[in-house]
A and B are shown apart, each in its own frame.
Chain A
């Protein structure tokens, strides 16, 4: 053998290089804070109090919380799949006038912060809400308000992740199955569904995790009757100051989420295959036949009733005082709830969101690139699951962990503005990886080889072959990261300083105070947050390259 590095060693080095940044990021800003809070909770008086776990689980109210958390997440996921699959189909495969507009509208809810969704449903089905005024119907005391809000929130996640891939699947695969004697339904089941499998599983997993760890929505709509683990952890830490109970609850959530993620990693790996992707622009056809028209009508109705109505009511409520009084009140420094006029929250939020998106894209992009390498082994795949953990671990834990872990040397970030973007990026990275990975994996490996043989170094291969393929996914990922960070509430509520509140934090504080003016201001600020998010999304949609870019 020669003394030069063999290709095996070289690729290992490349992989380690790619993974160094994500691993360091996660060790420092995720593992360390979580370890700190778990230690703070379970390690008291110099000894480990592991018996606390049994004690906490024995409490009937905690068991009630666990049960509710699980079944509401399952039902929310099932409902989202039920409503979302036809939506994904219609947006991927049917071509109709207003398709772009409808797609944009359907995308809006996802980028909406949970706080806005909660406020909008409060305005629709809550006390003094639209249904209350019209028919005396109130749902905010029932679980339906939470379930509806969850479906509202997750509909576009699902439609985007699944529909995006669906639009790029080669329709000729299904046609081939038809020629072999399969009915349209069987062709879909046997050919398209297996190809969509990983995307559907990933989408459903995301929905389950969001709803399992739902915080903002349940906090606003659940009242005292309904509490998820996340809300309970927040209550235990910030209201009861029972850190050890909160730590135990965090551990339980950790285990549950870890189990779900393990199952997910297993299903995805079993079905992983290189898909034949084609240009999404050529796969849609005009609707034909009763079934397709019915589906289209159903999806349009869903979008209007489920997505548009709550938002319309929210806007209407925010204008429900003469002369934009609620909006004008936002610019006044009342010196009560905040040290600054609530309107300042907009600037803070945008600034944080840009920083958080950049961090999330860099960390998530590097991680996805490392995970795509063909020689990725067991260790790397384990890292894949690890990356998802921040999604499932309570955002409240992250925020609280940041607060107690990063406030002393060697890492004293307490007074630094970067603390908030770091926490938000942590929540955004899993999205970036989830979005990038399927597209990167679906890129034919031989295209990369073709580029290498033509003289492209590994870095140039990535720039010339992968990047153009994933440009769209990258933009979507950037949008997700931006939206996640704009709307992040659970972690930010702990670490945003009172003189630098973000929009969701400001909305929640206003809702927490009595009186029409505060309610109206919350509606107004929520509307502003909604508009900021929607604009961000529309800008991204317009950035999306529709035609080939000419490099030559």
Chain B
């Protein structure tokens, strides 16, 4: 393991912001920590960087305990949320900063700055003032600056947080390619699941200072660990249910399950695609409460009598109008028993 956290705990005034977190990042792995604001994910990065002392536990880099090692000797890179470019230096001065700190000769600095700016798609920008850069350009300069000293671990705090959507989608792809080419080990935090899934080899979901789930994007997406993770990923059809045999007893009635489901009182998730609309009279009777156009499909909110709302994904053409009465049936392939 390149990075290891063992029982990492940070308390702010009695409240545990990081609560006995254990986490490992292997070399060349890209790990994305995903969580709502206040879940402790930025603190996690600050702990690894040496900017935030631990109240308990250890940080190991390449197996060595980092307790007492100050930030500037840890050899990790951190890209800050709002970039924190040095305003009084130009682009080249910013990118070269870490090289200067490490005593790299001037000529080599220049060469490396040129390379990096090329790499992040800003060739020849070394003399530009950082105040004259757009948000996306600042983000690229911040990335080049963090990469310049060749950190053994690169950490990104909400790397694309402030950028507009199309730029974000493009940069996520570029970043993924870049990290692949360079073989960089990356620990990123974000609150945006799309970003995390697109970027990461492994996703770690955090909640209240603890790790709620860890796995590949596909694993996390397909089998959220619990109701919190499922809801955080945007799933709304999550309920407590009693599982008996091949079906779950839910407020929505009997829901069929895929084979070998664990039995007993469980949390059940029904993906929107698993909510099939059928003519009124068949299945569960619902009223259409709202429709949201989502590009490839329409998300339809359905209100059954005396049960929580359901979300269904409908093809563009066949989506019912608000106020219409419909019937609902469930597709076992899209139902997951959590935990």
A residues adjacent to B (C-beta < 8 A): 2, 4-8, 10, 279, 444, 446-447, 449-458, 460-461, 464-465, 468-469, 548-552
Quick one: closest A residue to B93, CB to CB?
A: A552
22 contacts between A and B (CB under 8 A): A2-B65, A2-B68, A4-B68, A7-B68, A446-B80, A449-B78, A450-B78, A450-B86, A451-B97, A452-B70, A452-B72, A453-B50, A453-B77, A454-B98, A457-B72, A460-B72, A465-B86, A468-B86, A551-B93, A552-B90, A552-B96, A552-B109
CA distance A23 to B303 in the complex (A): 72
Given contacts A451-B97, A453-B76, A457-B72, contact A7 B53 (CB under 8 A): yes
Residues of B near A5 (CB, < 8 A) are 68
Quick one: closest B residue to A2, CB to CB?
A: B67
Would you call B93 and A550 a contact (CB within 8 A)? Answer: yes
Q: Which of B126-143 contact A (CB under 8 A)?
A: 126, 129, 131
Given contacts A453-B72, A454-B97, contact A548 B149 (CB under 8 A): no
B residues adjacent to A (C-beta < 8 A): 49-51, 53, 65, 67-68, 70-78, 80, 84, 86-90, 92-93, 96-98, 100-102, 109, 113, 126, 129, 131, 145-146, 148-149
CA distance A455 to B50 in the complex (A): 11
Given contacts A446-B84, A453-B51, A455-B98, contact A548 B89 (CB under 8 A): yes
Residues of A near B74 (CB, < 8 A) are 453
Would you call A455 and B65 a contact (CB within 8 A)? Answer: no
CA distance A456 to B78 in the complex (A): 13
CA distance A6 to B68 in the complex (A): 5
Would you call A460 and B65 a contact (CB within 8 A)? Answer: no
CA distance A250 to B256 in the complex (A): 90
CA distance A548 to B148 in the complex (A): 22
Interface core residue of A454, A461, A468 (most chain B CB under 10 Å): A454
Quick one: closest B residue to A4, CB to CB?
A: B68
**With A449-B80, A455-B102, A548-B89 given, can you name 14 additional A-B contacts, CB distance below 8 Å?**
A2-B68, A6-B53, A279-B87, A447-B86, A449-B78, A453-B72, A454-B148, A455-B101, A457-B72, A460-B72, A464-B101, A468-B86, A468-B88, A550-B93
Would you call B89 and A552 a contact (CB within 8 A)? Answer: yes
CA distance A461 to B53 in the complex (A): 19
CA distance A456 to B101 in the complex (A): 6
CA distance A10 to B131 in the complex (A): 35
Residues of B near A460 (CB, < 8 A) are 72, 101
Would you call A4 and B67 a contact (CB within 8 A)? Answer: yes
Residues of B near A461 (CB, < 8 A) are 72
Would you call B92 and A279 a contact (CB within 8 A)? Answer: no
Would you call A454 and B68 a contact (CB within 8 A)? Answer: no
CA distance A454 to B68 in the complex (A): 17
Would you call A449 and B96 a contact (CB within 8 A)? Answer: no
Given contacts A6-B53, A452-B72, A457-B72, contact A447 B84 (CB under 8 A): yes
CA distance A427 to B33 in the complex (A): 54
Residues of B near A456 (CB, < 8 A) are 72, 97, 101
Would you call B51 and A452 a contact (CB within 8 A)? Answer: yes
Shortest A40–chain B CB gap in Å is 49
Interface core residue of B49, B68, B88 (most chain A CB under 10 Å): B88
Quick one: closest A residue to B89, CB to CB?
A: A551
Shortest A550–chain B CB gap in Å is 7
Q: Which 8 pairs show the lowest CB-CB distances between chains A and B?
A: A4-B68, A454-B98, A455-B101, A452-B71, A7-B53, A450-B84, A453-B78, A552-B93
Residues of A near B93 (CB, < 8 A) are 550-552
CA distance A516 to B83 in the complex (A): 68
Interface core residue of B67, B90, B93, B101 (most chain A CB under 10 Å): B101
Given contacts A446-B84, A460-B101, contact A455 B68 (CB under 8 A): no
Would you call A454 and B101 a contact (CB within 8 A)? Answer: yes
Shortest B280–chain A CB gap in Å is 49
Shortest A404–chain B CB gap in Å is 47
Shortest A305–chain B CB gap in Å is 39
Residues of A near B75 (CB, < 8 A) are 455
Q: Which of B67, B90, B129, B149 contacts A454 (CB 8 A)?
A: B149
Would you call A464 and B68 a contact (CB within 8 A)? Answer: no
CA distance A2 to B145 in the complex (A): 33
CA distance A454 to B76 in the complex (A): 8
Would you call B101 and A548 a contact (CB within 8 A)? Answer: no
Residues of A near B50 (CB, < 8 A) are 452-453
Residues of B near A444 (CB, < 8 A) are 84
Quick one: closest A residue to B84, CB to CB?
A: A450
Interface core residue of B65, B84, B129 (most chain A CB under 10 Å): B84
CA distance A446 to B78 in the complex (A): 11
CA distance A450 to B96 in the complex (A): 13
Quick one: closest B residue to A453, CB to CB?
A: B78
Residues of A near B71 (CB, < 8 A) are 449, 452-453
Residues of B near A457 (CB, < 8 A) are 70, 72
Would you call A464 and B78 a contact (CB within 8 A)? Answer: no
Would you call B92 and A552 a contact (CB within 8 A)? Answer: yes
Residues of A near B53 (CB, < 8 A) are 6-8
Would you call B90 and A548 a contact (CB within 8 A)? Answer: yes
Q: Which of A6, A453, A549 contacts B49 (CB 8 A)?
A: A453
Q: Which of A447, A449, A458, A464 contacts B51 (CB 8 A)?
A: A449
CA distance A549 to B88 in the complex (A): 7
Residues of B near A455 (CB, < 8 A) are 72-73, 75, 98, 101-102, 149
Shortest B309–chain A CB gap in Å is 35
Residues of A near B97 (CB, < 8 A) are 451, 454, 456, 464
Residues of B near A451 (CB, < 8 A) are 86, 97, 101
CA distance A113 to B292 in the complex (A): 74
Residues of A near B131 (CB, < 8 A) are 279
Shortest B127–chain A CB gap in Å is 9
CA distance A451 to B102 in the complex (A): 12
Would you call B68 and A450 a contact (CB within 8 A)? Answer: no
Residues of A near B51 (CB, < 8 A) are 449, 452-453
Shortest A551–chain B CB gap in Å is 6
Interface core residue of B72, B96, B113 (most chain A CB under 10 Å): B72
CA distance A450 to B81 in the complex (A): 11
Residues of B near A2 (CB, < 8 A) are 65, 67-68
Would you call B129 and A548 a contact (CB within 8 A)? Answer: yes
CA distance A482 to B135 in the complex (A): 43
Residues of A near B86 (CB, < 8 A) are 447, 450-451, 464-465, 468
CA distance A106 to B339 in the complex (A): 73
Interface core residue of A452, A457, A464 (most chain B CB under 10 Å): A452
Residues of B near A465 (CB, < 8 A) are 86
Interface core residue of A4, A7, A450, A453 (most chain B CB under 10 Å): A453
CA distance A499 to B310 in the complex (A): 96
Residues of A near B80 (CB, < 8 A) are 446, 449-450
Shortest B330–chain A CB gap in Å is 48
Quick one: closest B residue to A469, CB to CB?
A: B88
Shortest B130–chain A CB gap in Å is 10
Quick one: closest A residue to B83, CB to CB?
A: A450
Residues of A near B76 (CB, < 8 A) are 453
CA distance A452 to B151 in the complex (A): 13
